[in-house]
Amino acid sequence: MQYFVEPFTANIIAGQGAGVAAQQLSQLINQRAQEGWEYLRLESVSTIVTTPANSGCMGIGATPASSVQVEVYMAVFRQG
């Protein structure tokens, strides 16, 4: 069995609703199905994004390093 994981983020305009997001996920699933991949599930993965410190110019505009935790979504497929 072989697995393939691809990031998925729906891109909708305010007011379009969940139906548009579902349509985008369907398109991804159908595209991968044509390539022989079977859709399994959508996983939520927690990750930490770190912005490095910036020393600025002679200390002017310096910023400390910062980290933020974000959720990313991964579509999981299998083959074989």
Q: What's the confidence (pLDDT) of residue 76?
A: 98
| Of 61, 65, 63, the residue nearest 51 (C-alpha) | 65
Q: What's the confidence (pLDDT) of residue 38?
A: 98
Output the tens digit of pLDDT for each of the chain's 80 residues: 999 999 999 999 998 989 999 999 999 999 999 999 999 999 999 999 888 877 777 767 777 788 889 999 999 999 98
DSSP string, 21-39: HHHHHHHHHHHHHHTTPEE
Q: What's the confidence (pLDDT) of residue 61?
A: 74
| Of 7, 80, 1, 78, the residue nearest 42 (C-alpha) | 7
Calculate ∠ Cα 13-71-31, nearest 5°: 60
